[in-house]
Amino acid sequence: MDGGDSPRTVVFFPEGAFGPTNNCVGIANVLKQRGHRVVFVVEESFAGTLEAKGFEERLMRLQAPPEVPEEPGQFWKDFIRDTAPQFRKSTSEQLETLILPIWEQLIAGAMYVEDRLGEIFAEVEPDVIVQDNVVAFPAVMAAGVPWVRIVSCNPLEIPDPELPPVFSGLPAGDRSEWQTFRDRYTALHAELHRSFDEFVQARGCPALPAGQFMFDSPYLNLFVYPEDADYERSTPLPATYHRLGSSVRTTEPPFSLPAQLEGDGKLVYVSLGSLGSAEPELMGRLVDVLGRTPHRVIMSMGPQAGQIELPANIYGEEFLPQPSILPLVDAVITHGGNNTTTESFFFGKPMMVLPLFWDQHDNAQRVEETGFGHRLEPYGFSDEGFNAALDDVLNDEGRRARMADISARLQADPGPARAANLIERLANEREPIHRDA
């Protein structure tokens, strides 16, 4: 612990999906190793998963209980399964049929859980609350202790008028469609913003920022993105914002290359995330095209494990320890989730990105326009185009050397340790933590 200070109680409150939860686990594990008490506030479907990693749990729900038991993150898996046809639409078309319904569900959850969160915070008595969410929870601000906002999505979540609008996947160098997308987003979400603003103000919060559903913390804000791929802002971020170039957890078990993949040839890792892997058509297409390449492939199958027959050059399991696999591979095929994107930078692996929804489109575009890989339309690529892009990310030595340099810098300054240092300071000082301090 910093300077021999006494142990603190730190509550982590991630969004009920694997991405934000895994991001928090990496930071929380450092704090636990330093002797602090770490408590995770998680949905009931996650019960036991954080306990198994050595953390305390407090359980809550974001909606009424189901009639049958749930798997971890089951609500969002079901949601994506039911809305998978939306993945074929443009980002502009997704605004009404996918992005707005997601915001509606998130906000309904924030309202539903408010009283339970207050009970948890009163019982646990945290010194600091760390939340990785995209919507506000008034109970966090009402707890009377310093709190931290983690932005583990693409940094366009933090708006800037001179940057593309979030969720658009639009290029930074071409403004021609920015305003049309922004206007459409604002019109579709205006009523939802108004009603949620009324809710948070009734609970003692200030007014929501224009067009946003989340507050900055007045104490400490962390965002996860490597500087080499980040955007050039017209206005510097507030002094309470601190960059984590990556946030790779070290709690995953080791991984040994399966016997069937031993031998020569490039090694490729494929992950569409816990939600993207629930989409059978795209998963089947990837198995088909990769099965006809000379490459060796490790594939995170998610719900498709046992449902799709794998050729000899592809090894797949439902769950895989991604941070233990990435050091072994030559390239990554991903949906563009922020965890996989930033972890690929951490290990210096070029990417092919097939975005489906949310900020995945922004990450895919950023990878493409900064030269760290290629963006492909997940339902529109040809075999020839796919193979050409894959050959390029596997064989471009200039790109690989550039990413190796970035990897060395990120690994020399691990994000979880940096975040833990800042959270410890906040717990001890109880004052805003500025970048220049």
* DSSP state, residue 96: I
Q: How far apart are CA 74 and CA 134, in angstroms?
A: 19
Query: What's the pLDDT score for residue 73?
Result: 57
Q: In what order do the strands lie in the sheet with 331-334?
A: 314-317, 296-300, 267-271, 331-334, 351-353, 373-375
* Residues 415, 243 contacting (CB under 8 angstroms): no
Average pLDDT value over all residues in the chain: 92
In whole angstroms, how far apart are CA 66 and each of 61, 63, 74? 10, 9, 11
Alpha carbons 262 and 57: distance in angstroms, whole number: 40
Percent of the chain scoring above 70 in pLDDT: 95
236-256 in b/e form (b: 16+ CB < 10 A) is ebeebbbbbbbbbbebbeebe
Tokens (6 digits) for 342: 């930033």
Average pLDDT of the segment spanning 242-267: 90
Q: Do the domains at 2-248+414-429 and 259-412 have one common CATH topology?
A: yes
**Alpha carbon distance 47, 71 (integer Å):** 9
In tens, the pLDDT along 364-390 reads 999 999 999 999 999 999 999 999 999
- The C-alpha angle with vertex 347 and arms to 339 and 434, in degrees rounded to 5, equals 60
Q: Which amino acid is at 9?
A: T
Q: What is the pTM of this model?
A: 0.93
Poorest-pLDDT segment among 156-170, 252-266, 341-355:
252-266
CB 103 within 8 A of CB 121: no
Q: Which residue has the tokens 């399964």?
A: 81
CB atoms within 10 A of CB 200: 23
Q: What is the rounded CA–CA span in Å between residue 173 and residue 22?
A: 33
Measured CA to CA in angstroms, residue 61 lies from 15, 49, 221 at distances of 12, 16, 26
pLDDT score recorded for residue 375 = 98
β partners of residue 317: 300
CA-to-CA distance for 422 and 414, rounded, in angstroms?
A: 13
Would you state the pLDDT for residue 106?
Answer: 94
Model confidence at 46, pLDDT cuts 50, 70, 90, reads: confident
Residue carrying structure tokens 């691990």: 414
Coil, helix or strand for 122?
Answer: helix
pLDDT of 3 strictly over 50: no
**Per-residue pLDDT tens digits for 122-136:** 999 999 999 999 999
User: Where does the pLDDT of residue 4 fall: very low under 50, low under 70, confident under 90, or very high at 90 and above?
Assistant: very low
- Residue type for 164, please? P
Structure tokens at 171: 């290029």
Distance CA 77, CA 304 (A): 12
Smallest Cα–Cα separation from 10: which of 174, 132, 148? 148
Q: Which of 249, 236, 230, 237 is nearest to 363 (CA)?
A: 230
Say yes or no to pLDDT of 436 above 90: no
18, pLDDT greater than 90: no
Secondary structure class of 335 (helix, strand, coil): coil
Q: Is 58 helix (H, G, I), strand (E, B) or coil?
A: strand
Tokens of 178: 């920015």
pLDDT at 76 over 70: no
Indicate the domain borders of the chain. Answer: 2-248+414-429, 259-412
pLDDT of residue 83: 74
How far, in Å, CA of 105 to CA of 295, rounded?
A: 41
CATH superfamily assigned to domain 259-412: Glycogen Phosphorylase B; (3.40.50.2000)
In CATH terms, the superfamily for domain 2-248+414-429 is Glycogen Phosphorylase B; (3.40.50.2000)
